[in-house]
Amino acid sequence: MRIAKMIRIWRASEGIDQKDLAAEIGIGASVLSRVEKGKSPDAAGAVKIMAWMLSDAPEPVEPERETLRLNYGGEADSSVEGDADA
């Protein structure tokens, strides 16, 4: 998984905005924004992001994928992949 995607997923799962996470990492919010868009940070930013990922960041969380299936009656049935009730 790419670093940009890991950071976005983690931020979304924790409800943290870019400004707060950037401050926690020690980089500017604009640097974090660029990283989340797949751009490379400068060397100092890269070192800080990697240090944060190796020491402070929790394990990345995979988002639940919502699937849409048609039941036998032709009606849409929305469920979460891996859901025991599905």
pLDDT computed for residue 13 by the predictor? 85
49-64 residue pLDDT tens: 988 888 866 665 555 5
Q: Which amino acid is at 51?
A: A
Domain 3-55 has CATH 1.10.260: yes
For residue 53 the two structure tokens come to 């990922």
Q: Which amino acid is at 6?
A: M
Distance between CA 86 and CA 70 in Å, rounded? 12
Distance between CA 42 and CA 58 in Å, rounded? 24
Enumerate the domain spans of the chain. Answer: 3-55
In the predicted structure, residue 43 carries a pLDDT above the cut 80: yes
Q: How many CA atoms lie within 13 A of 54 on its CB side?
A: 6
One DSSP character per residue, 61-86 reads -PPPPEEEEE-TTS-EEEEETT-TT-
Collect all residues with Cβ–Cβ distance below 8 Å to 70 and sequence separation of at least 6: 76, 77
